[in-house]
Amino acid sequence: MKSSKSILLGLVFVLLTACSSINIQEVTSDADKAFEAKNFSKFSTDIEKLKDGNSKEYESYISKIKENNIYKIEAHSKLSELNEGTETLSKLSKDVLLLKEYSDEKLKLFSKQIDYLNKLDDSTLNILNYHVKVNENLMSKSNKFVVLMNTFEDVNETTKELEDLSASANTDIIDLEGLEPPAQYSNQHNAYTESLKKYKEALDTKKSYIDSQKSLIVSSNSLVLEANIFAVSELNDLSAEIENLTSNIKTAINDVKQRAESLQKIID
């Protein structure tokens, strides 16, 4: 009697075990499809089923999921890709409770890199849309020829624009030096910052020279109008020096421009 009872209990246990067991291959396959389709609510249900049915297989499966490109910041190099990635991670955090902590951790890294690239984007666009255009425009005040600086107001217009360009470049330099670039951008970031410093130095050198020669520039132009031959020679010397300083600025801004364009390819 006891033997029959034991057999019966054994059969019940086997039946219960069979009923509670899961088809691991089927569940993980369904989970894979849901994850690929970004149907994270369905994915969450599948992995919870896997966790309840076989904790060892669950741990192995979750480890594999954490290696998916969705979580890899290096697989999202451009700003648009990072923005899309944060949307996906936010949805994962919300819909998949079992992965919330891991998703939030990665979300912080993505957000930090987005913040960096946004600030880098601001700087490079400032260079390309403001500095390059001003320097390439022969009619801009900072490119004014010496023979057109007939009054102190004319000279001050030139030095004011040079000062504005320098201040703008300096703001970018300060902002860039305050950032912590991700490792993959470090070399380009540092080279770009150094090129901006050289450009600013070229602007400041030209401004300082014109400021120091302000009176001579105005008086020489005035005397040239009176056909003073000595003033012509003086004005030629001033023109040559300022043209040389302008050339230095153009060389520097061209270097900054190339680096900004290269960085834009990373950002866009």
Within a domain: residue 72?
no
State the pLDDT confidence band at 13, using cuts at 50, 70 and 90: very low
State the pLDDT confidence band at 32, using cuts at 50, 70 and 90: very high
Examine the domain organization and report whether 186 and 254 are in the same domain. yes
- Look at residues 31, 48, 65 and tell me which one is the last residue of a structural domain: 65
Within a domain: residue 89?
no
Asked if residue 9 has pLDDT above 80, the reply is no
List, in sequence order, the alpha helices (H) in the chain: 2-20, 24-36, 40-53, 55-65, 79-95, 100-126, 132-136, 152-177, 186-212, 214-225, 229-267
Average pLDDT, the chain: 91
Examine the domain organization and report whether 45 and 122 are in the same domain. no
State the pLDDT confidence band at 19, using cuts at 50, 70 and 90: very low
Give pLDDT, residue 109.
Answer: 95
CATH label of the domain that carries residue 136? 1.20.120
Within a domain: residue 84?
no
CB contact set of 59 (below 8 Å; sequence gap of 6+): none
Examine the domain organization and report whether 128 and 51 are in the same domain. no
Give pLDDT, residue 18.
Answer: 44
Q: Which two tokens stand for residue 208?
A: 């300082």
Examine the domain organization and report whether 140 and 263 are in the same domain. yes
pLDDT tens, residue by residue, 52-109? 999 999 999 999 999 999 999 999 988 999 999 999 999 999 999 999 999 999 999 9
Positive or negative, the CA dihedral 94, 96, 101, 102 is negative
pLDDT tens, residue by residue, 208-263? 999 999 999 999 988 888 778 878 889 999 999 999 999 999 999 999 999 999 99
Average pLDDT over every residue of 182-194: 94
Number of domain units in the chain: 2
Tokens 């219960």 sit at which residue? 16
Give pLDDT, residue 21.
Answer: 65
Tokens 């624009």 sit at which residue? 161
Give pLDDT, residue 57.
Answer: 94
CA dist 217 → 37, 143, 239, 248 (Å): 71, 15, 9, 20
Burial class (CB in 10 A: 0-12, 13-18, 19+), 91: middle
pLDDT more than 90, % of the chain: 83
Examine the domain organization and report whether 163 and 41 are in the same domain. no
Within a domain: residue 191?
yes
Print the domain residue range for 173. 117-267
pTM score of the predicted model: 0.81
Examine the domain organization and report whether 57 and 133 are in the same domain. no
* Residues composing the chain: 268
| Contact in structure between 176 and 256 (CB atoms under 8 Å) | no
State the pLDDT confidence band at 42, using cuts at 50, 70 and 90: very high
pLDDT more than 70, % of the chain: 92
Q: Which two tokens stand for residue 177?
A: 């030096």
Q: Give the rounded distance of the alpha carbon of 134 from its chain centre.
A: 24
